Amino acid sequence: MFAISLGDGAELRPLEPWQAEEFLAHMDRGREFIGRHVGLPDLTTDLESTRKWLQSYADKTAADTGRLYGIWLDDLLLGGVLFPVFDAAMRNCEAGCWLEPAAAGRGLVTRAARVIIDWAIRERGMHRVEWLVPSENTPSIKVAKRLGMSRDGVRRENFTYRGVLQDTEIWSVLAPEWLAAHDTP
């Protein structure tokens, strides 16, 4: 297994099905907070559903269509970043995140997202990385801005979340923009 330091005692590591108990405990700690904008708590309600969800990402990793990573702080799983969509042939992917309230405001998601976006562009040749976010999820929009993404537009009332129609903002960064901003002479 590998771990990438995010600084300040935080690490980015792969999340796998064998970690279902740890993941479920993490989700239980942050279920209400995470669930305000992200459906993940609704998908991982018990050990069986949690294993199934983690296995779906193990399968995506094997098929090269998605990836899943956890953010640990002082060896406690507190959040994660992922590629729910990873289309190597089209050179497009979507990045996303979630975080427990105990870890909010520390820049962990921004640092973790930088790592996976940089990998996707430099190592895998992705041309476009998207960040889809409900318009009311201000912290996630701030992450997109810190990552240097541009707001492409809004899909108005394009999905219902917990009985309420939601708008989705589409943010993205293109490989030339990313490389120009992150290459040091």
Give the mean pLDDT per block of 10 residues along the chain (185 residues): 91 98 98 95 98 98 98 97 98 97 95 98 98 96 98 96 95 98 77
Phi and psi (nearest 5°) for 130? -100, 155
Task: Tell whether domain 4-182 is in CATH 3.40.630.30.
Answer: yes
What letter represents residue 111's amino acid?
A: R
The 10-14 sheet, strands edge to edge: 4-7, 10-14, 67-73, 76-87, 92-99, 128-134, 164-174, 150-161
So what's the pLDDT on residue 1? 61
43 Cβ contact list (under 8 Å, min separation 6): 49, 53
Q: Domain locations in the chain? A: 4-182
So what's the pLDDT on residue 54? 98
Q: Which two tokens stand for residue 58?
A: 């193990």
Q: Which residues are 95's β-sheet partners?
A: 131
Which pairing describes strands 92-99 and 128-134: parallel, antiparallel, or unpaired? parallel
Q: Are 172 and 92 in contact (CB under 8 A)?
A: no
So what's the pLDDT on residue 152? 98
So what's the pLDDT on residue 2? 86
**pTM of the entire predicted model:** 0.95
- Whole-angstrom distance, CA of residue 167 vs CA of residue 105: 24
